[in-house]
Each structure stands twice: as structure tokens, then as C-alpha cells.
Structure 1
Amino acid sequence: MFGSEGPTLRELTVQALSSVEHGYDLLAPKFDHTPFRTPDDVLDSVARALAPLGPFADGLDLCCGTGAGTRVLTGLCRRSVTGVDFSAGMLDIARRRVRPADGPGVAWVRGDARALPFTAAFDLVVSFGAFGHFLPRELPGLFAQVRSVLRPGGRFAFPVFAPPRPRHPAYWLLLGFDTVMRVRNALWRPPFVMYYRAFRLGTVLRELERAGLAVELGVLPGFGRRADGSPRARLVVARRADAPPAAVSPRPAE
């Protein structure tokens, strides 16, 4: 379906009828040959944007998959880089593909992002393309976990792309995908949580601040602007504040 090296329609169907964890175990050997992998131009743009904020000592790639984001961290962190994912299959591929000849040491940990097995050990946490696997009600707990593994002043960074407008075919494609997944999860167990339209920037910014993270919103160059002048790609950088988490005034939804 995605070329000769990508998964077939049958393989994708089997994956979609599995749990999220087992589905990614099955998809892992062919994951990098699908559109689900974060493109290199996005990874490179994020790396360039984060470089001036360093140097960083220790980095964490949250929901690392096959390690594309982990490779970005090896160019930003001096001492250590850790990839964490709950799919053993994805971690196995990552171990084989991310082997820097020099630079920081790389470790792989199987774990759930909602219950991270770390203390405040990282200066930089990144994540690429994983947030569709978390329901909106899970964001407060997820961001609290991220804050707990950041050192004071540490940063949590991830790219966000503007959703397509209704007149764009991609809008209806994503709407259709999410609708199919909701029907599938209503009729089939275990659920497979993956929704492209549930991760809304306004809600995300509010929950980051409620978790005790001071948020800066930047622009990723190279991806253009929409007709209204707003950027197509942004970089969210949330810094661990020294003050404890507190309720904040709502931001306007975007």
C-alpha cells in the first residue's frame, strides 16, 4: 500500500484490529516505509530550532518509535539520550537503526508515557507524532509525567501543524479516518486509540501551563503559511517552571 517495502492492506487491517501496543509490534519492521513516520524535513527543522536553546546534557525521546526523534537528540545532547516506547517491536528496530559512532550514549527503555520510569533526569524531552494516541482527558496526566522527568529549567518540545481547512481534501481524509476509528472502537476490543483531530493547540497550551510548564510558541520555517497568514508549522517549547503547577486562565481556542 505504501510501496514495495511498506505494509500491505491486509497487514494494516490486522494492525488496526489489534491493541495499540501489539499493532505497533506488528508494524515495526515496515514502519519507516509508511507516511506515519515523521518526515526528515520536520525532524531537521525542529533540530535547527532547538540548537540555540542548548547545550543540553541529557535528552528523552517520548514515544520514540523506531528512533527518528532519538537520532535528532544525539545531535543536541552531550551526555546521554534515552528513547522510551511501550512497543517492544518498535524499540527493537530503533536499537538497530540508531547507533551513533560518537556523541552521547543511547539507551532504550520500554515504558508507558503515562507512567514514566524516570526521576527528574532530563534537560530536553521531545516527541514526534505520538499525541494522537492520547485522549484529551489523558493530557493532564501525560504532561504532569513530562514535568516530573524534567530538571528545573528543562524543556519539552514538539512540532504542531495547523489542521487543514474544510475546503482541503486532507480535512475530509482526517475526519473520515477519525470517524472510522471511533466506530471501530465502539464495536471492537481492545481499542486502538489514534485520532488525528483530537490534539487541539488551544487545549494543549492550557494543559501544559496547568502542569507547571511555561510555554513558548515558535514558528518552524520552511513550511509556509496559510491563506490567513498563520504559520503551517509551529514549535511548542514548554519549560519546567520552578513554581508548582497551578490553574491558569484559559487561552482562546485555536
Structure 2
Amino acid sequence: MFAPQGPTFRELAVQALSSVERGYDLLAPTFDHTPFRTPDAILTPVSRALQGMGPFNSGLDLCCGTGAGTDVLRQVCRERVTGVDLSAGMLAQARAHERPAAGAPHTAWVRADARALPFGPVFDLVVSFGAFGHFLPGERPGLFAQVHSVLRPGGRFVFPIGAPARPGSPGYWALLAFDTAMRVRNALWRPRFVMYYRTFRLADVRTELARAGFDVQLHALPELGRRPDGSPRCRLVVATLPSRQRSAVATGHLAEHAPGPTEAP
């Protein structure tokens, strides 16, 4: 599960008993050698899909970690990209891994809480990979409002979301066990470490994005395969800020553009 260069069991235990910020500061030097980093198998098809939607001028990688998603932005943005994260340790690793190339967009790294972004409406594209489990369901409306506030009219908020594990499958029980253990840990220990895999439900997320003022579409990522019922294993959520702002009622229409049958998360 972990590469030899990854963290030891003791290091993971110390991280798990820390706050989210401190935990990722500790994990940062070995993070890219863990399964927690978004794999290239997901990043590549997302990049390909974004190239079909762009080009974009400026992009923001929300909760950028060590910069894997920021590399995707460099492929589709012409002027500048920004990575924002709460962990100074993760940002330090992102800076260390950066390899400036001629003609590449300018890259900036900013330490900030995603729930209080220090930007105006200056981005054409916001992406995020694997970070939403760090936000409790009650925090999502505020998070989506923050993303809304930093996008220009017509800008897009894009992220992949995997199909839920089938009830009774090994993946289902593994995620349930992890979330249960995390809830017990947070009930008994402070500071809390918020990371839940089963709270980011597609149906809820679509509704909350629409309420935040986005037009929401889903696109299948065919490179990641299909489930036995024909539905995609992974979809790309594309939430667009209308060029002319409309009311939440007017933006409540949601379109499903992923081929094949849909499933309830």
C-alpha cells in the first residue's frame, strides 16, 4: 500500500492524533509515496477533459497539497496558476517539486484556509482533488460560496468524484470502517482530525452547488472504466458560474451529461 519511501506506522499514528494542519505538516515529506496522493490515472483524464474545455487564463488548485493538481492547471492555463493549502509543510514540498519551464504559466503558492480564501474574483478555473473529506457536510455551503467568490463570470469549478462503493463490497466495508474509526477517534481525542470518505455524496453536492449559484453538469471519465451496470466509475463535476448571475431558483436546473444509467450515491 505504501512505497518503501513512505511514512512508517509510527509516523502515521502521530499524524492521525494531530490536527489536520499539523498532521499534513508531518506527512508532507513522504506524502507522494502514499496512496493519499491523487494518482496519475485520475489526473491524466481530468487534464484531457479540461483541455477540451479551455484554454483558461488563470487557475486555482484548492487544497493543493504537494501540487499534483497544480501540474494539471499548468497544462490548461496560459497566464498563472495558484496552489492554496492550509499546511505549510505541503506547500514547501510543492515549491521544492516545482520545475519552471519556458512558456509555462507563473505559479504562486499561498497558505490559507479554503473556507476563507484571500482572493477576489480573479480565476477562470478552480480544481480540487481528494480534499473534500476534510470538510464536514455543514461546511460545504460555505466552501462552495468561497469558490463562487473567486471565480470570474463564466468560470468553472471542476473536480472528479468516484462512484460509491457497492453495499457489501470490500471497498464499502473498508470505507465504513475507516469513517467509523475516525468518528470514534474524534469523539475521544482533541484536536480533531477531520477526514471522512463517505460524507461527500454526489446528490447532495449537486444540490449544494446549485444553491451556491452554479450550473452543474457531469461528464463521464471513460478512461477510468464502467461498473457492471454500465455507469461510470468516475465522473467529472463541472460547476459553471453563469456569465450573468441568476437567482438560486434559476440555477437549480441540473443536467446529466454522463452516458449510461445514473445511480444514487
TM-score normalised by length of structure 2: 0.93
Indicate the percent of aligned positions where both proteins have the same amino acid.
69
- How does 1:71-86 map onto structure 2 within 5 Å? 71-86=71-86
Q: Match of 1:111, as an amino acid? A: A
Which residue of 2 is the match for residue 246 of structure 1?
248
Q: Distance in 2 between matches of 1:118 and 1:78?
A: 19
Deviations 1:169-228 (A, max 9, x none): 111111000000000000000100000000000000000000001111000111111122
Q: Distance in 1 between matches of 2:61 and 2:131?
A: 11
Change (3 A) 1:218 1:8: same
Q: Distance in 2 between matches of 1:42 and 1:218?
A: 14
Structure 1 contact 206–250 (Cα < 8 Å) conserved: no
Deviations 1:140-167 (A, max 9, x none): 0000000100000000000000011123
Q: Distance in 2 between matches of 1:166 and 1:206?
A: 23
Which residue of 2 is the match for residue 20 of structure 1?
20
Which residue of 1 is the match for residue 257 of structure 2?
none
Structure 1 contact 161–234 (Cα < 8 Å) conserved: yes
Q: Distance in 2 between matches of 1:169 and 1:29?
A: 30
Which residue of 1 is the match for residue 56 of structure 2?
56
Give the number of aligned pairs: 254
Q: Give the C-alpha shift of residue 43 in structure 1.
A: 0.4
Q: Give the C-alpha shift of residue 99 in structure 1.
A: 2.3
- How does 1:96-135 map onto structure 2 within 5 Å? 96-102=96-102, 103-135=104-136
Deviations 1:59-88 (A, max 9, x none): 000000000000110010000000000000
Q: Match of 1:119, as an amino acid? A: G
Q: Distance in 2 between matches of 1:8 and 1:177?
A: 19
Which residue of 1 is the match for residue 143 of structure 2?
142
Q: SS at 2:222's partner residue?
A: coil
Which residue of 1 is the match for residue 258 of structure 2?
none
Q: Match of 1:17, as an amino acid? A: L
Q: Match of 1:9, as an amino acid? A: F
Q: Distance in 2 between matches of 1:75 and 1:158?
A: 16
Structure 1 contact 211–245 (Cα < 8 Å) conserved: no
Give RMSD over aligned pairs.
1.5
Structure 2: gaps spanning 5 or more residues: 255-262
194-203 or 240-249, larger mean C-alpha shift: 240-249
Which residue of 2 is the match for residue 160 of structure 1?
161
Structure 1: gaps spanning 5 or more residues: none
Which residue of 1 is the match for residue 209 of structure 2?
208
Q: SS at 1:12's partner residue?
A: helix
Q: Match of 2:204, as an amino acid? A: T
Q: Give the C-alpha shift of residue 3 in structure 1.
A: 2.9
Q: Give the C-alpha shift of residue 41 in structure 1.
A: 1.3
